[in-house]
């Protein structure tokens, strides 16, 4: 086997490192340009789920898995009247709770998670929602996405970029990431999106994904990002 001199190996490593850094700088610049336009067109991006308390946001986010925010809002309108506190969710009859959340789909799992999540909050956290990602993700049905949604929107804590189906699709189309692994996407976006924008960033992509950059038929001809989007079909 051909022996590669150590000096050459180091040089190759440095070259790869420099190329990666260059790529990263380019991506960061691109993200900045995109954010500038998103900010202009969507000046007040907000969470589409309705809630009055951090606990309600947590429950609404658990219900939003594989369901539209619109449907979740219809369900939670009555749900939060029927179960006004985490204690009432913890004490709920599981079969009744299943029926109450049924329209959001996967209702057995969601009801079970909501009930045991509220029980754990009462038993292990004195009934207070923790404001740390590693604690929130100990609750049933709460993954990184749900925890980031709650921390960002209810507590204004930038713990990470929320990665849902829209963020995944747009981040791929805009050339920032490749693949669908949410954990990897969150990590990679965290490196190129300025932290001060983490909370709004996913709202921007979600709004744009719903309105323009749709899954099946992206409306590239009328999209304000067309000049700087690598996926534009021209």
**Smallest distance from the beta carbon of 210 to ligand SF4, in angstroms?**
12
- 145 catalytic per annotation: yes
User: How many chain residues touch ligand SF4 (CB under 6 A)?
Assistant: 12
In terms of CB distance, is 75 or 205 closer to ligand SF4? 205
Q: Is the CB of residue 164 less than 8 Å from the CB of residue 64?
A: no
Residues in CB range of 126: below 8 A, 6 or more apart: none
Instruction: Select which of 120, 164, 231, 232 is catalytic.
Output: 164
Q: Which of 53, 56, 232, 234 binds ligand SF4 (CB under 6 A)?
A: 232
164 is annotated as an active-site residue: yes
Burial class (CB in 10 A: 0-12, 13-18, 19+), 36: exposed
Greatest extent of the chain over all pairs of C-alpha atoms, in Å: 74
Binding mask 200-219 for ligand SF4 (x = CB under 6 A): ------------xx----xx
Would you count residue 173 as binding ligand SF4 (CB under 6 A)? yes
Residues found near ligand SF4 in the complex (CB under 6 A): 173, 212-213, 218-220, 223, 225-226, 229, 231-232
- The residues carrying an active-site annotation are 145, 164
């Amino acid at each position: 086997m051909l022996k590669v001199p150590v000096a050459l190996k180091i040089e190759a490593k440095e070259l790869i490192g420099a190329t990666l850094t260059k790529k990263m700088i380019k991506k960061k610049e691109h993200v900045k340009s995109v954010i500038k336009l998103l900010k202009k067109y969507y000046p007040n991006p907000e969470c589409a789920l309705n809630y009055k308390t951090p606990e309600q946001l947590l429950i609404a986010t658990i219900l939003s898995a594989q369901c539209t925010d619109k449907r979740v809002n219809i369900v939670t309108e009555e749900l939060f009247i029927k179960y006004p506190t985490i204690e009432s969710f913890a004490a709920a009859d599981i079969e009744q709770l299943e029926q109450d959340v049924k329209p959001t789909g996967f209702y057995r799992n969601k009801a079970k998670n909501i009930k045991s999540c509220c029980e754990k909050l009462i038993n292990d956290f004195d009934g207070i929602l923790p404001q740390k990602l590693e604690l929130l993700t100990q609750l049933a049905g709460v993954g990184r996405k749900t925890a980031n949604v709650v921390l960002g929107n209810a507590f204004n804590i930038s713990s990470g970029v929320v990665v849902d189906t829209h963020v995944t699709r747009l981040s791929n189309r805009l050339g920032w990431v490749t693949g669908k692994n949410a954990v990897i996407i969150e990590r990679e976006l965290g490196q190129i999106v300025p932290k001060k924008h983490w909370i709004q960033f996913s709202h921007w992509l979600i709004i744009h994904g719903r309105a323009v950059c749709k899954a099946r038929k992206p409306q590239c001809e009328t999209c304000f990002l067309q000049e700087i989007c690598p996926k534009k079909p021209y």
